[in-house]
Structure 1
Amino acid sequence: MTFKLGLTGSIGMGKSTTAQMFRDEGCEVWDADAAVHRVYAAGGSAVGPMRAAFPQAIVDGAVDRGALKTIIAADPTALKTIETIVHPLLKQDRADFLANATADILVYDIPLLFETGGNAGMDAVACVSVDAQTQEARVLARGTMTAEQFQMIREKQMPDAEKRARADYVIVTDTLEHARAQVQNIVSTIRAGLRNA
């Protein structure tokens, strides 16, 4: 029997680091962002349909995310078209992951898990969380966006308090040691449940 654990959390909460901790405990991880990169890459399954819908989004045989942002900014309805192309491809990528997985715990690293209703397909959900000041400091330290861009993203995402309230497990990522201890605890709890099932 395999256990499906959804892993979610807002930007800058430490989700990628936490996902690696689950890998370290022998779990297999499906990463939604990595899957998007796979389907957008040269030869990826999104390139053909995207070229048909938005030829200007294809650069060097791959879907260019910067070009997509420009297209969406010019035409907000374009996002719906992009989603109708990409979502089924990601669903297939996830199905392939499940078909080939051998671990007892499968972790689905999906930033917008609650927003997209993806939590319905999970056995439990873990939410990574940290205080708002640490969250903002982490994002701005990456040097990839301004404080204004960060605020815009944060406003689009479900509030952290709501995610925490809806999750089965909350992983506080204030320190690596604390986060790892919580991950190990969750894994051992799930494995004990699997043994007794």
Structure 2
Amino acid sequence: MLILLMAIALLGVLMTLGSLLRLHALPTGLSPLSDPVSAYGISRYRGLYRAQTLGTALGAAALALGLVVADVESAVPAVVALLVLAAARALISWVPMDGDGAPRSGTGRAHNLLAFGAFAAASVGGFMTGIAFGATGGLEGAAVACTALGWFMTAASALTLAAPLLSPLGRLFGLFERLIYVGMLAWMVVTAVTLLAR
């Protein structure tokens, strides 16, 4: 059962990564440095955007179940963080962001809350998985890696939040957000591989 769950988790990561790489290779007119990833969701390539959000949701849900099945010590907070991440990513592509110059809408505000919730859940999840692995014998190396990725995602999230407020950083909003994705996917892979090797 655990092997199947981790295969699903890694498949979800691959689905997310493949969709993101494809989106960045297409002639979208969007800048990876300045535009948010969510901008793909209001483009003609919204199907690929949805695929990557659903891939993350699938992977996070499988990891949450995997932590339970593997009977990892002190894993409840990590499981909750992964389930919040899964729910936020499953919903976000159905709740698109507001486009540039468009009036602010309830849908756009809901999108922002889901994005904030997903990134916060991933950052917290890194720390909580680190704590859970640290409490489980033989997983100290994975605990350090997950905690480091938690800090990485937290720093990238802080830069993403600060970018619109600080004009020199504003042009790099997209880059900072994409660093959160890097940390999130790396954390999911580390967690899956650790549970597979348990």
More helix per residue? 2
Higher RCO structure, 1 or 2 (CA under 8 Å, sep 6+): 1
With the shorter chain as reference, the TM-score category is under 0.3
More strand per residue? 1
TM-score by length of 2: 0.27
Rg bigger for which structure? 1
TM-score by length of 1: 0.27
